[in-house]
Amino acid sequence: MNEEIRPETVRVFIALSPPDDAKQELARELGPAYRAHPRMRWNRIEDWHITLAFLGEVPPAAIPVLRPPLADLAAARRPLTLALRGGGHFDERVLWSGIGGDLDELRLLAADVRAVVKECGIHFAERPLRPHLTLARARRDTPSCAVEAAAGLSGFTGRPWQTERLHLVASNFGRGPGPIRYRDVDAWSFDGEDRHAG
């Protein structure tokens, strides 16, 4: 898998991904927004994710260092119960869906993920965790699109679902023109008992 990574650096983050049926449920709710705002840059549904830690550009050598401790962390955790809920926007341009459910446990998971990254000697700019799912970006000449689409999601409450895996994801953001693309570098199942509890 490493041979596919660009040799200089790779832009990576650690995330959760909703199951396909939960994403399809939200996509159906977004139908009117898709039709009303076709010029928005819509993220591909298969790329929807909840970022726990954004590491930015790291050398490819960092990837094998991260794998074992992230695998151990996932193995020590029970799945969380989450749901996609409502919507909003950042700076009137970035449309997102909110997250409901086990938010306290989600914050603890994110804190532990970030601690693992630091213990691996990888420095990154920590951002406060704001659990959300980025859906689209409005073009600079039509910023109101994200505001209007967010209003259309205000009453949305998706079905509860359980997190299945912890994902290490690479992105080609900033690699040139075209839509942002993501791919799993690796993913690890949440395997039952939470050894961090108590």
All residues at 6 or more sequence positions from 192 whose CB lies less than 8 Å from its CB, including other chains: 78
Q: Which positions are annotated as active-site residues?
A: 49, 132
Q: Measured between alpha carbons, how far is residue 93 from residues 37, 41, 143, 147, 189 in Å?
A: 12, 10, 5, 7, 34
152, β-bridge pairs: none
What the block records as the tokens of 53 is 């830690």
